[in-house]
Amino acid sequence: MQIKEIYNQFFLWRDSHIKERHFLLFVCFLVGILTALAAWLLKTAIHFFQVFLTENFSHANMNFSYLLFPIVGILLAGLYVKYIVKDDISHGVTKILFSISQRKSRIKQHNMHSSLVASSITIGFGGSVGAEAPIVLTGSAIGSNLGRFFKLEQHSLMILVGCGAAGAIAGIFKAPIAGILFVIEVLLLDLTMSSILPLLVTAVTATTVSYLLTGMGAMFAYSQVEPFMLNRIPYVILLGILCGFISLYVIRAMSWCEGIFHKLSHWKKFLLGGTLLSILIFLFPPLFGEGYNTINTLLAGGDSFRSLTNESFFYNMESRWTIVVFLVLVILFKVFATSATNGGGGTGGVFAPTLFLGCIAGFIYSYALNEMGYTTYLPQENFALMGMAGVMAGVMHAPLTGTFLIAELTGGYDLFLPLMIVSLVSYGTILVFEKHSIYAMRLAKRGELITHHKDKAVLTFLKIEDLLEKDIPTVRPTMSLGEMVKVISSSNRNIFPVVNSDGVLLGLVMMNDIRNIMFRPELYDRFTVQKFMVGAPAKIEISSSMEEVMATFENTKAWNLPVIDDKGVYKGILSQSSVFNSYREVLVENYSETDE
């Protein structure tokens, strides 16, 4: 009881002595520390599992352990989620998008640790996914729950959700700029100056803590072979186009696989996912885990890339094109390995797979051109780096994040121009075919997608159920004009829905249409509602999105429209005035700068 009193006294003191926007910066500092610690803990747990399981692997022979470990991993992770967490923790970034789009910014407390535990088991045992989406969900959950603990207002909670994501990216990659850009491009609908400073505090704090815990070295060992030359720009542009189509393949294939797994029961998902994953990893060992070892190998230069075929059926094949065929197959099957991991019960994201695929794509592209001798030598390490930026920019629809993340991950800042070119070309290529990123596709299909377009973003905050006017009296088609006049006299509205005994909407009575007869008592018994009711200009289904609702208002030029359910039952009246009033409230609440 004493702790509760201290807690309450603290908030009384804080409210009277510290402005919320100043206290928010302190909370952001705490979020930065906690997200960096969570990222370090996740990476440490993954490394522990991988070393414990693979330290006795032979690099010259195929290891049949590849058939077992991934199945055990997704089984353990799936059981943990199903029987301990008892909640869906997959698609972490999509969950954050949904939380923001619903204007709740409330992420469950268990997400501060459940994704961390499940993903470390999944990836540590060989699951072919990344740890970044789980840690982003963990970071956003930390931000959300810390904000609620300190009783911050709604707008501050939304900022803290973004700060948690920025801190997670900054902490796991040591990339503060990429963390901020990820929030801007992928998560938040709009940022003001009051939002930028909290993001900076969190990202810088998380990166600093990460440096203290793991040292100052970049995540990937890379040294630029030679400076970028302008005559290679055409090849960079072609690589960007290739990355765009690879991104399209990733999004389409993963969406297709997800649809298949969605139809299966829990144990069927596990059997299909576990079997597919173990076979793919057994045939193509680079699919084991996040794939960062493969990236380091390709960035190391020299002939180190030949070691990638170790432990596979391609081992000891001497042809110079063996590695090309092998890595092309790895690209094709990586998507299925990732989908099988998540679909079978594991927990992980597509962040690391995009880096993995991009690195291989850039390497194959430059290696093949060099082997064919049609051009001057293209540094394979540099193009592998560019491919990472290109595929990430295409899959995530985030060219700035792709550019800055790769530069920060490797220290390859001298390649900024080609990194930007590849990212922009890849992003432009995929936009022709896919409007939404892999994270946003699920929400877009349900009409719940947050958007960077401010007008549309505000509309996503509005829900038909909250705007319905249900106090308007309904009338029956058999009612007489006299009875209709009595209803009108007790109401201050000029529109009245006509429904049958089952509540199904039949039409509307507009007071203006009967004004010339409603004051003639001799007609009260001669006319019934059925005679003078009219059809509605349009009917709005209660499941419609607000964007569809506004389009209906625009097309019909109506000011009031009836709302029905999927069976035609009348639910209420929706007016443009109520929509506009709510629109302004949301706009002021979420986009106005405060002077406090």
Distances (CA, A) of 71 to 75, 256, 404: 6, 22, 36
Distances (CA, A) of 513 to 315, 473, 475, 494, 507: 85, 17, 16, 10, 13
Indicate whether 518 belongs to any domain.
yes
419 and 491 part of one domain: no
185 and 240 part of one domain: no
438 and 500 part of one domain: no
Cα separation of 235 and 214, whole Å? 36
Indicate whether 379 belongs to any domain.
yes
420 and 516 part of one domain: no
Cα separation of 185 and 89, whole Å? 23
Pairing of strands 570-575, 560-564: antiparallel
181 and 57 part of one domain: yes
Cα separation of 167 and 206, whole Å? 5
Indicate whether 220 belongs to any domain.
no
191 and 238 part of one domain: no
Query: For residues 540 and 549, is the Cβ–Cβ distance under 8 A?
Result: yes
Q: pTM of the predicted model, to two decimals?
A: 0.75
Instruction: Report residue 384 as tokens.
Output: 């592998």
Query: For residues 354 and 396, is the Cβ–Cβ distance under 8 A?
Result: yes
Indicate whether 7 belongs to any domain.
no
Give pLDDT tens digits along the chain (596 positions).
Answer: 566 666 566 666 666 667 777 788 899 999 999 999 999 999 999 988 888 877 665 554 545 666 788 888 899 988 998 889 888 777 767 777 777 665 566 788 888 888 899 999 999 888 889 888 889 899 999 998 998 888 787 778 888 888 999 999 999 988 899 899 888 888 765 566 667 889 999 999 999 999 999 888 767 766 666 677 888 899 999 999 999 999 999 999 998 998 898 888 888 989 999 899 988 988 888 888 888 888 888 888 777 777 777 766 666 666 677 888 899 999 999 999 999 998 888 888 888 899 999 999 999 999 999 888 777 788 888 899 999 999 999 999 889 999 998 888 877 677 888 999 999 999 999 999 988 788 777 666 655 555 545 555 566 667 787 788 888 888 898 898 888 888 888 888 888 899 998 889 988 888 888 888 888 888 888 888 888 888 888 888 888 877 788 888 888 888 888 999 888 899 888 888 787 777 766 665 555 444 34
Q: Which CATH number is 535's domain given?
A: 3.10.580.10
Indicate whether 6 belongs to any domain.
no
349 and 477 part of one domain: no
175 and 245 part of one domain: no
Question: Where is the domain boundary, 399, 420, 454?
Answer: 454
Residue among 99, 141, 145, 83 at smallest CA distance from 116: 141
* Domain ranges, residue 470: 457-591
351 and 298 part of one domain: yes
538 and 397 part of one domain: no
Q: Which CATH number is 155's domain given?
A: 1.10.3080.10
Number of domains in the chain: 3
Cα separation of 125 and 458, whole Å? 43
